[in-house]
Structures are given as C-alpha cells and as structure tokens.
Structure 1
Amino acid sequence: MRLSTGRRTVRRNRTGILAILFLTLALAVGCTSETAGSGSGSGGGGDAPPKAKLVAQPAADATDVLPTDPVTITVTEGTIDAVTLTNDEGKAVKGAVAADKLSWTNAETLGFGKKYSYTASATGSDGKKVELKGAFTTLKPAKTPRATINPGDNATVGVAMPISIKFPEGKVVDKATVEKALKVETSVPVEGSWAWLHDQQVDWRPKVYWPAGTKVTVTAKLYGVNYGGGAFGKADLSTKFTIGRNQVVKVNTPDHKMNVYRDGKLFASYPSSNGKDADPNLNTPNGTMIVMQKDPIGDFSNPRYGYTNVKKKWAVRISNHGEFIHENEENRANIGKANTSHGCVNLLEADAKAYFDSAIIGDPVEVTGSQANMPATSDVYDWLIPWAQWQKMSALK
C-alpha cells in the first residue's frame, strides 16, 4: 500500500508540473500576439524590413567610369526624397528628381579622373525611410587631344565650302565611334556625307554645291569619346554658319579668260593668262578648287624659279599647291592672248580688284583644258574626289 500511495504521489506531482508549464506557455503566447497586433514587429519577434530599395548606377566603388555616362539613382516600392552627388572637392553636381519621384539623373557632365560620392534617401510605400551611400571614380585617359572645326561661328561661305574637323594632336584610331558623334543639320534638305581624308581629318561635303542661303548647324559631341589608342575627346565642338550667294568661277585654260557665274548665269568675264601649256608642272591644273584665302597684296617669291620679293595685288588663293587668281600687270601683253604664268590665273589690275571684291571663302573655282590635273595634296581637295568614292571614305559605310 505504501508503494501504491507513492505512485499516486508521483502522478500528482507530474500533473502539477505540466499544469505550470502549460500556464507559462499560454502567458508567453498571449504577450507576442499583443506586440504583433500593435504593429511593432512580426511573428518572428523583429521589425519588418523596409520595402523601398535604392539602386545606384554606377555602382558603389566602380572605377574607370566614362564621364559621359549618366549617373542614376532609382527606387522601387517608394519615392525619392533627396539625392546629393559631389566631386572630390565637395562641389555638388547638378541633377534632378524625375516628376514621378522614381529616379534621379545628373544634369551636369562629369570630369575625367575624379572621385564622386553620392547620398540618396527615399520613403517606402510602408512609410519607412531608407538611405544609400557610395562613391565611384571616373576614367583618367592617357591623353585628351583637342580638335578644331571649320567654318567658324557666324561665317558666310561659298557653295563649295566643306565642313572640316581636324585632330592636330594625334591620329584617330576608332573613326567609326568618332563619326557617330558628328551631326550636320541644314535649314533645307541637303544630301552629303562625312569622309576621312586621313587619320587626323574628317570632312563633310554635299553631293553637289550647297543651295544658296542654307543655314548649317554642326555639333561634334566629342567629349569623352574613345578615339582609340588611349585617347579620349577633350571637348565638344559646334558651329553655325550660312551659305552665301551662288558664285562659281570657270576657267577653260585654252580660252585665255575667266568667267564668273552667279546663280548659273554669266556675271563677269575677264581676260586671263593661265599656266604655261607646254609644261605640265606649270599648268593651271584641272579640277575643282575653292577660294581659301584673300590678301590685298600677296607674296609670290619663288627662288626655285629665280624670282624673289615679288608682290602682286588682289591675291585669291585657290590651293596650297601654289595656285592663285591675282593681278599681274607685268604680264599685260599676254593676258587674254597666251598662257605664260607659272600656274596662277593672271588678271589685269582692275579686273583682279573687281573679282577680289566679289569672292568669298568657299567659292568654287573649276579649271578645265590643262594637260595636268590638280593633285590631292592641297589642304582642301574635297571636290577632286568623285562622289561615289567620297561616300566610301566614311567610316560608317
């Protein structure tokens, strides 16, 4: 009986322990439900993570970022409150939050070889705030060669004037990438094309002469463009210019005269003496050149042919091969009768002055009838190249 009583005592003790454990668990469960109900946590006992997520491009710690690449901060499940982007000197970079407040983009171009830091904040759809911080560095090129553009701003030029972009400080390796950064806009439709004359020059010209009065805008977004060979564009270029009246000079050398046409009609005709017919080295060579330069007095000294300190009036350069249209009263006896010059078009002084006053840079000068052709060695030989060949000289063809 003592044994039996002991068993009952053990059972009662076990029952009491179980009751205490059950009560403890019940109290614990009742406390967690109340906290969750108050919105202070989740069933796991911790705060719910914010819903909003900020993402930066370039990513934090990115290197060799192109300064022309956009910097963007975007958010999901929320809206952007503020973004600050600063350079390594602490200066803020301009930028703006989009109207929908889902993104921020810089509105100012970055510099080469600089470190930029960003801080962004946003509010999630759950009302919770989030923040993002980071930094990146931009590319530091081996070299940033400059470029030039011609014609310059506000110029009025002739109907044969090409657009020329030169790279005097180095060769362009990736011509296609550079050419994609170039744009020509015209006030009237004009068919034309870029052509690489060599590794340091690309020109644009129309298929036929420009229409008179055309307004032209050229933009070359070269800053940050990869030229290849470790070189990147130093700066953007642009120009706006106007095509003047249509004036074309035509010289058929055996005729001993120079005709000037305006809008296709004969405007003036001047007797001339052209390059010596018998010597191809002294011909006024065939081809279409352009007016490149005008000087009231030109120096025509040429020791190779035995004359020095020779000055002539009203000099209009049409090539860098040595050809000009100018006054030569010393050759008056042959003007209009015989070709006796060393390649220039000689005019009487009054006629030379009249033509000089009518000419503008970019006017075409068409020469025919000679034994020799103009070599493609002058600074401007664009019109010596047939159109079909010119188009093939584009890097994008």
Structure 2
Amino acid sequence: MGRRGTDVSTQSIGRRIPAALIGLGLAAVLGLTGCSSGSDATATTSTSTSARPAGGAEGVAVAPAKLTTQPTAGATDVAPGDPVKVSVVDGEIQNVSLSNPDGKQVAGQIAADKHSWTATEPLGYGKTYTFSGTATGTDGKPAALSGSFTTVTPKRQISASLNVGDGQTYGIAMPIALTFSSKVTDKAAVEHALTVETTPKTEGSWAWLSDTQVHWRPKEYFQPGTTVKVAAHVYGVKMGDGTYGKSDITSAFSIGRSQIVKGDTRTHRMQVIRDGQQIADYPVSYGLDSDPGRVTHSGIHVTMEKYTIKSMSNPRYGYTDVNVPWAVRISNNGEFIHGLAGTVSVQGKANVSHGCLNLSPANAKQYYDGVLTGDPVEIIGSTQQLGPEDGDYADWTYSWADWTKMSALNH
C-alpha cells in the first residue's frame, strides 16, 4: 500500500516541473511512507528504554513488589495440611524463611520463575509460624516479607490403617481398604488427600462403605503384573467436628498372576483358571441348598486370608471347635474353601456343608498352596446372592455405577 502512494506522473500536471523539485517531492512522499512503516519500532524502543528498570526485562512496567501469603497474616486455626505459599506480583522472590516458635525453619522451594515459594514439609499442630524474606520489585527496590499465623489445636487426631503391605503381591480382585480410628465427617476433604497410582494405568474409584472405611477398587480386575502405589496424605487434613488426621500412610505393592475360581453349586464342581488356562477341576460339596442359613452365596467373593488349620464353630447348627485343614476365607459370613475328609464321599455329588466349599484334604492343600489374597472366587447357581452385608471384601457385589456413586467427590 505504501508504494502505491509514490506513483507520481509529471505528464498529468500539465507543465514541466524541475527535476530537483520532483526529487524533493518524491523524497517527501517516500519519507512519509518510510516513517509510517517504521514508527511502531521507534515507539517501542523509546517506551522500553524509558520503562526498563536496572536489570529488568524489556517491556516490564516499573512497580514495587506486591507480596501475598497463604495463609494470610494473622490467620488462626490453620490446618497443617493446607497449602503454605508466598507469591509476588511485579517482582521476584529473593529469599523466604518460615520458622516455628523454636526458630526451626520449614523446608520450602522457590519456583523457577521466582514468583512464588511453597512449603515442602508439613507444619505442626498448635504452633505459630512467622514469615520473613525479601523480594525485588520491577522498580529495582527490595520489599520485605513479614507476618505470622497459627495452626489449629485439634480436639482429636484420627489415625488410619491400610489392608495392603509394602512389597506384597495380591490377586487381581484385591481391593484397597483404608480404615480410620474414628468417624470421618468431611469425607470429601479426606478423599481429596488420597491417591492411587497404577502401572499400567487402571481405572478405579474410592467408595465410602461406612463413616470409618473407604475402599478403592478397579472397574475391572487388575491386569496381572500391575504395580500399585497408594498414599493417604491425611496428616493435618480436617476430617470434621474439630478432628484432624494424625499421620500419612502409604504402601506400594504388586498384582501377581491371574487366578480365578469358578464354581457352580448345581454341578458340585470348582475350576481353577490361571492366566486363562484351567489348571484344576475339583469335586466340591457346597452349602445345603434347602437351608438359607447354610447355602453358599452366589457372586464374586475375594480370598481374604488363609490358615493351615482353622477352628470353626456354629452353635446354631450344633458344632464347636471343629478343626479343618487348608482353609481359605472368601467372605466374612463364614464361607471358606477348606478340606474336610468327612464329606469326601459326597463331594461332586451333593451339597451338605454349612456354606463352605468342602474339598478333599489333598485337593484343599493343592489349592491352598497356589492362592493369593485378592484372588476372585466366582460362584453361581445358588438361591442366595452375596451382598455388601457379607463382609469387608464385598466390593465386587456392587455394579460399577453404584460403586462410583459412593465416592464423596461425586455428590
């Protein structure tokens, strides 16, 4: 567009114009065009030169540093688990110190852009912490950091425990159970502090089964070989009604091979499927079908623990302290897979037990030796269905839609 304005024709003027004047005219027009295209660059240079502080970046306005803290100065009843941060606008942080009443400094980290500092260790309960430090504004002048806040003194501290241990190997249906020593009111705050990391990535969800227990389970069975890291960063977290978390708890474990027991009470058989291949087909006597109090429940059970010898009692049915070998618990309603020589003659033919899966002692030992806590036991064919009331590992009795509804973060 600029070059179009310089197209001057002497022919159209009607008289000859001295070459010198033509040159001046062209120079004037070209000069205007050149000025137009270069005026932005000239203005930018001028502005940045006048606004740039000593050592500052080009285009940065001159201003004093503005410091803010989280928590704010004078705050009380601060939860030790809440974020502690210093931020600066129009400047850079040079140093920050946060100290407790004994003068001990809290560990922290200045961000790479020097616009913030964050505490990297938890605070104590019932203590006053004091900020100090400096920032430099874009005006080149220092600004001092000051202020203090006080953390809460809880009415009660709640501890937590996990059902999974470091370095352990579990079956593909293993749920993660976190149990608290007292009632949790603010379940959402607690759930925000919980993490589960899996390799390979596994879809899963937390669900509150009671006021003191929250479980995590995958949507589908774990893939064999999955590694799992669970962390409950509940120290300093407000759990409601003046109660706070006592300490963090973590665990790292792995998932072993795939093993699924498939049983049908109508066929009186039990198959063991390992990594997709059937490795055993045992004759079984399940619970007596005609008695709802003795029938083996259909549904997905989970192996919970095992005993070389287990003493069993059921006064309602007239027996106490009966010792059975190679017992594997599959629910909290009294269902086990175990050996029992007394029912060998009907195993594979009739259901006569009090809810357990009776195997011959030899078959029970073979199964016992290969089982992992967390293996699924899928039973079909009976008149009674396994439900949430049947124990701590009844996680798989819920549909995935119902399970996710029990997360406090979905309310």
State the 1:236 CA deviation: 2.3
Distance 2:289 2:219 in 1: 31
> Which of 264, 272, 281 is 2:276 aligned to?
264
Instruction: Give the C-alpha shift of residue 335 in structure 1.
Output: 1.7
Query: Could you tell me which amino acid in structure 2 is paired with residue 385 of structure 1?
Result: Y
How many residue pairs get aligned? The number is 347
2:134 is the alignment partner of 1:118 = no
Cα distance between partner residues in 1 of 2:205 and 2:68: 42
1:356 aligns with 2:368: yes
Q: 1:374 aligns with which of 386, 389, 396?
A: 386
Distance 1:327 1:75, change over 3 A: closer
What whole-Å deviation, never above 9, does each CA across 1:136-193 have from its counterpart, x for those lacking one?
A: 21122222211122322212111111111122x2222222232222222221232222
2:328 to 295, 301, 316: 316
1:155 paired residue number: 168
| Cα distance in 2 between the residues matched to 1:53 and 1:191 | 43
Which residue of the partner structure matches residue 337 of structure 1? 349
Deviations 1:49-86 (A, max 9, x none): x9556554433322122323343445566655543321
- Paired AA for residue 62 in structure 1: A
- 1:163 and 1:210 map into 2 onto residues whose CA distance is 12
Give the whole-Å Cα distance in 1 for the aligned partners of 2:344 and 2:279.
Answer: 23
Partner amino acid, structure 1, of 2:399: P
| TM-superposition CA deviations, 1:204-251 (whole Å, max 9, x none) | 212221111111122222222222222222222222211111111111
Corresponding residue for residue 393 of structure 1: 406
Question: Which of the residues 149, 152, 165 maps onto 2:178?
Answer: 165
Instruction: Please tell me whether Structure 1 or Structure 2 has the larger radius of gyration of its CA atoms.
Output: 1
Distance 1:125 1:381 in 2: 61
Gaps of 5+ in 1: 1-49
State the alpha-carbon separation in 1 of the partners of residues 317 and 222 from structure 2: 39
1:386 and 1:327 map into 2 onto residues whose CA distance is 32
Instruction: Write the deviation string for residues 320-367 of structure 1: whole angstroms up to 9, x where unpaired.
Output: 100111110122222222211111111111101000001110001111
- SS of aligned partner of 1:198: coil
- Identify the match of residue 59 of structure 1 among 67, 72, 75: 72
Asked if 2 retains the 8 angstrom alpha-carbon contact of 1:301 and 1:311, the reply is no
SS at match of 1:88: coil
Stretches of structure 2 that go unaligned for 5 or more consecutive residues are: 1-62
Deviations 1:241-278 (A, max 9, x none): 11111111111112122111112332101111111122
CA spacing shift, 1:86–1:371, aligned 2, 3 Å: same
Distance of 1:361 and 1:370 partners within structure 2: 24
Determine helix, strand or coil for the equivalent of 1:60. Answer: coil
Partner residue, 2:218? 206
Q: Is the 8 A contact 2:341 2:360 kept in 1?
A: yes
Matches of 2:399 and 2:139, distance apart in 1: 68
CA contact (8 A) 1:122 1:130 kept: yes
Q: Which moved more, 1:158-167 or 1:114-123?
A: 114-123
Distance 1:242 1:221 in 2: 21
Cα contact 2:79–2:238 (8 A) shared by 1: no
Contact 1:73/1:120, CA 8 A, preserved across alignment: no
Name the CA distance, whole Å, in 2 between partners of 1:51 and 1:112.
35
Q: How far did 1:112 drift?
A: 1.6
Paired position in structure 2 for 1:33: none
Q: CA RMSD in A?
A: 2.3
Of residues 212-221 and 276-285 in structure 1, the stretch that sits farther from structure 2 once superposed is 212-221
Give the TM-score normalised by the residue count of structure 2.
Answer: 0.78
Partner of 1:135: 148
Q: Please identify, of 176-185 and 139-148, the stretch whose mean Cα deviation from structure 2 is larger.
A: 176-185
Work out the percentage of aligned pairs sharing the same amino acid: 52
Q: 1:66 is matched by which residue type in structure 2? A: A
Kept in 2, the 8 Å contact 1:290–1:318? The answer is: yes
1:233 alignment partner in structure 2:
245
